[in-house]
Amino acid sequence: MRVTRRQLRNIIREAIIEESLWDNIRKKRARGEKPAKKGDKDYPDEKAWKAAQEADEYDEYDEVDELNEAEYDGRKVKVNKPTAIRKGQTGYGKKQDKVYVKDGPKEDDVKVVRFGDPNSEIRRDNPEAKKNFRSRHNCDNPGPKTKARYWSCKEW
């Protein structure tokens, strides 16, 4: 089962925060009372406060991305996050970066996409080089995430 970040936040909020902490504070404020002070019976513990503050911080992010973890060869990997290929890893010296992408209808369909010339650098700050690269690789229409061209264009 896939759960989006927003769904996960809502589940946590309903289970911990909304029913216990913030509902009581809002009710008291509506009645004209002050919220509980430290040492009061109604005062929430430190964990509840931290959870509530974190939930409020994440309220502004309403993207509906799926959680970016998957299993590849028996280990957890981050999906859609390009990383450099290090010495000793497959593809070292042949390609510059790699990224794990979901490729298929099942959750465990994960593919490695290696991309980038190891002997060249990305010169994003040079407008002429950027323009030439993007026109040469047709970056206006990069194709699917499972192809190297998509990720090369995204880096540029």
Tens digit of each residue's pLDDT (9 = 90 or more) over 35-93: 667 777 666 666 666 666 666 555 444 443 446 788 888 888 889 999 898 888 888 88
Count of residues making up the chain: 156
Tens digit of each residue's pLDDT (9 = 90 or more) over 7-38: 887 787 777 655 566 677 777 788 887 766 77
**All residues at 6 or more sequence positions from 140 whose CB lies less than 8 Å from its CB, including other chains:** 134
Q: Is 28 helix (H, G, I), strand (E, B) or coil?
A: helix
Angle at which helix 46-58 crosses helix 5-12, to 10 degrees, equals 150
Tell which wins on pLDDT, 60 or 142.
142
